[in-house]
Amino acid sequence: MSRAQPDPGVAWMLAFQAGDDLAFDKVVEEYQGPVVGMLRKILGPHSMVEDLAQETFIRVWRARDRYRPRGRFTTWLYRISFNLALNRIRDDKRQAVLSIQEPGSPGGEIPDTAPDAPVKALGRVDWGIILDRALATLPENQRAALVLQHYEDLDLPAIGEVLGIGPKAVKSLLHRGREKLREQLAPLRNREND
């Protein structure tokens, strides 16, 4: 039986807490890509992804003295990122409502997000683009659960920690999210097979 490898994120954060500022640089170097990737999958091609990733690490910096290793470092880090993404989604929804209500206000344009838009543009199915667009149509909690499981490889309890729910609720979110994706993607799969 092999012992579990120590979590480098926890070790770096504890070193940072003890005064080693270079340990924080290691945290950023190691986790910036995954944080940006997760945010991009949750928010889509949003202009604020880089800013939210930066804000995530600013919050990690500020939490230096309060940090307590209670699990995987990425679970704690993704919780910060997810909360920032959720706040951005809510802000965008409020802004969209204001834009629709105010005649002539900027930001009222709706981009072409039809599932077959990439098919028309490329003459073939680009499944990466289609999957990203289909994910974007899911409620944010389902989208986040799927992203955390399939792209970040978190297990049900860790996803539950990030989302603030229990493992059974995570399982339900994953199931509903997969079903909605299947429904959306089925017509395209059938068209590709024709």
Structure tokens at 37: 């990737």
Architecture of domain 115-194: Orthogonal Bundle (1.10)
pTM: 0.69
Cα–Cα nearest to 86, from 168, 143, 159, 170: 143
Pick 153 or 98 by higher pLDDT.
153
The CB-based long-range contact list for 13-19 (8 Å cut-off, 24+ gap) reads: 13/60, 13/64, 13/67, 13/69, 13/73, 14/67, 14/69, 16/64, 17/64, 17/65, 17/67
Instruction: Provide the residue ranges of all domains of the chain, joining segments of one domain with +.
Output: 1-107, 115-194
User: Residues 113-151: pLDDT tens digits?
Assistant: 444 444 444 445 577 778 888 888 899 899 999 999 988
Residue 15 has pLDDT above 90, yes or no: yes
Compute the mean pLDDT over every residue in the chain, rounded to the nearest whole number.
82
pLDDT of residue 118: 43
Tally: H helices and E strands in the chain: 9, 0
Burial 53-67 (b: 16+ CB within 10 A, else e): bebbbeebeeeeeee
Architecture of domain 1-107: Orthogonal Bundle (1.10)
User: Residues 147-190: pLDDT tens digits?
Assistant: 999 888 899 999 999 999 999 999 999 999 999 999 988 887 66
